[in-house]
Amino acid sequence: MAKKGIRDRAAPLAHGLAWFYALLLVFPLYFIIVSAFKDNLAIFNSPLSPPSSLSVSHFVDAFQRVELGRALWNSTFITVSAELLTLALAIPASYALARSRGRIAAWCERFFALGFLIPSFAALVPTVLLAIHLQLFQTRAFLIIFLPAGALPLSVILLTQFMRAIPSDLEESAVMDGAGRIRILLRIYLPLTMPGIITIAILNFLSFWNEYLFALILGGPDPAVRTVQVALPNLVSQTNTEYGVLLAGALITMIPVYLVYILLQRRMESALLEGAVKS
Amino acid sequence: MTTTPHAAHGFVDEPGAGTSDKPATTPAGGRRTRRDKLLVLLATPAVLWYAVFTIGPLGAVFYIALLDWEGLLSPSTFVGLDNFTKILHDPVFWTAAKNSLIQIGVVIPVMIPLAFMLGYYLTLEPRGHHLLRVILFTPALVSLSAKAMVFLAVFAPSGALNGLLDLLHLDSLTRPWLANEATALPSVIAVDLWSGIGFTAILFSARLSSISREVYEAARIDGAGHWRRMWRIAFPMTEDYFGVLAMLQFLWVLFSSAGSVLLLTGGGPGNASTTLSFLIYDKAFTQSEVGYSQATGVLLFFVGVVGMAGIRSLFRQRY
């Protein structure tokens, strides 16, 4: 009896705590949006109230002060290129790991799994040396070839699991028909593992677009190279900490991520459902 | 933090897919070796890429730690273990070590159990849980620099937090949160917790939803409340996963705090919020002591290994 009482009394507490935390998460987002239209005085005096005007001057300011337009292009270029390179490396490798039965394959898989435990930050300094050595330091090219390396462990392991789920009789019959490995990969595996490919593409997009420290050090401060994540914090000194402009800039950098997430999440869910129905 | 969405996702998918589906061995006769050669060829670029850009640089840390090296573009000389002696006599290192210890000592014990409980709460599918899930996921979408800009505005002397305290007539509590020696590190930790709990909770709920309802039902009939079902049933059944997430979070906090410290406080005031991770960054890129920086990296590596072993033995590990 007493236990039932505890449960009932604990319920409002649980609801309360969960939603209190949700409120803490939503507050900064709300705060960004309303503050992007306010000046410093209004942000301090009434942090919660909606803005009195909807002037876009802060957004224009943010764009001009740190050349956000160029930075957005750099981020897009780097993210898309690195994404394509990651898929080009991960798809054949996953297929190979899923279908070979040798000891080398098992060893390779463990080698990639080890990557989960390696925080990429640990190797930042030697990576800079590598970039200097290749004469690619502070270029977009180096970021494009470097970022996939960090994304490979997850991409390969995840995709290998998707590829394994495909029955091998499908492949055996294609082999009987005289199809080569590459054709089998492109014609059978690629379409069937699309849900997996979309999943890793989304995860990689998030991590490439949002990368900060490596983009800062390997890309550097040159406006011709720097990404939005590197350009954004420059607003602090450029505007003499005008928070409205700062937050307008932050909002601009977040829009692409939210757009892609909203657009692709639906596709990912339906794709995953299809995959589940088929198997 | 945004718990490396990467690593964490991989672990989520593992329980379902990782263990049972080894490919059925269907020997294809004589063609097998030739076919396997092509397979090796297909895997080679990815393995090479990973070896050259991840494993190679990681190994180089151990060599650079033995060099006296003033700046990335200047020549270096081999000095053996000198960097380590220097580090261990440097008070700044010990301040950073203390700060890292505090950061880990607060973040892990607070975040992991809260995230576990929140994950359990989500699996009960209370009213509004769909919306709650979406909200909990948001910090994972926001980049480190955007997050830092927001919290700069929240913690600033005339920022949102002080503004709120003002409105509540708690003026005595207002302070420059990031520039105050006593609150700089706690502010960094608060940002870690803010962004980490929600995402980790979603990971837990994905794992907890694999426990069948009958198990809970049986416990309910025996008179166990949610608290006991959570810690006596759900926890032991997912203890290995609890350990995995604690471990990933530990590694993340230990190694990757440099970015958020750099953006929020720059390690200051003084060295009040300098963590070991930030020290590695700062020594290499602003103080031009590359050898010192990488020797700290080596020490951090050993701390990481010892910490992981500790967490492993705390939660029985099955993989």
Cis peptide before A28 (omega within 30 of 0): no
pLDDT at B186: 94
Q: What is the DSSP string of A17-68?
A: HHHHHHHHHHHHHHHHHHHTTS-HHHHHH-SSSPPS----HHHHHHHHHTTH
Give tens-digit pLDDT for B166-176. Answer: 888 888 888 88
DSSP state of B159: S
Query: What topology is assigned to B77-314 in CATH?
Result: MetI-like fold (1.10.3720)
pLDDT at A2: 37
Q: Is the pLDDT of residue B185 over 80?
A: yes
Give tens-digit pLDDT for B260-286. Answer: 999 999 887 888 999 999 999 998 888
Domains of chain A: 57-278 (1.10.3720.10)
Mean local confidence (pLDDT), B137-148? 86
Among A83-87, A197-201, A261-265, B218-222, the minimum mean pLDDT is found in A261-265
- What are the helix (H) ranges across B124-183? 129-137, 144-155, 160-167
Q: Is the pLDDT of residue B213 over 60?
A: yes
Is the Cβ of A271 closer than 8 Å to some Cβ of chain B? Answer: no
Burial-class residue B292 by CB neighbours within 10 Å (0-12, 13-18, 19+): buried
Structure tokens at A215: 């983009």
Q: Is the pLDDT of residue A26 over 70?
A: yes
Contact B280, A123 (CB under 8 A): no
Give tens-digit pLDDT for A118-142. Answer: 788 888 889 998 999 899 898 999 9
Residues 14-33 of B with CB under 8 A from A: 14, 17-18, 21-26, 28
Mean local confidence (pLDDT), A94-102? 85
Residues 6+ apart with CB under 8 A from B208: B119, B120, B123, B234, B238
Residues 17-56 of A with CB under 8 A from B: 18-19, 21-22, 24-26, 28-29, 31-32, 35, 40, 43-48
> Tokens 């069948």 correspond to what residue?
B212
Is the Cβ of B223 closer than 8 Å to some Cβ of chain A? Answer: yes
Mean local confidence (pLDDT), A218-244? 86
Q: Is the pLDDT of residue A43 over 80?
A: no
Mean local confidence (pLDDT), B70-79? 80
pLDDT at B256: 86
CB contact under 8 Å between A18 and B121, yes or no, is yes
Q: Is the pLDDT of residue A220 over 60?
A: yes
Domain boundaries of chain B, sorted by first residue: 77-314
CA distance B178 to B173: 14
Residues 119-158 of A with CB under 8 A from B: 119-130, 132, 145-146, 148-154, 156-158
> Tokens 């670029």 correspond to what residue?
B45
> Which of B1, B121, B131, B149 is the best mutation test for A, with the most CBs of A within 10 A?
B149
Residue B54: which of A11, A115, A125 has the nearest Cβ? A115
Give tens-digit pLDDT for B33-64. Answer: 555 678 888 888 999 999 999 999 998 888 88
Closest CA to A189 of A42, A91, A49: A91
Structure tokens at A129: 């040396």
Run of H or E residues at A261: helix A243-278
Angle among Cα A172, A158, B48 to the nearest 5 degrees reads 85
Contact B240, B316 (CB under 8 A): yes
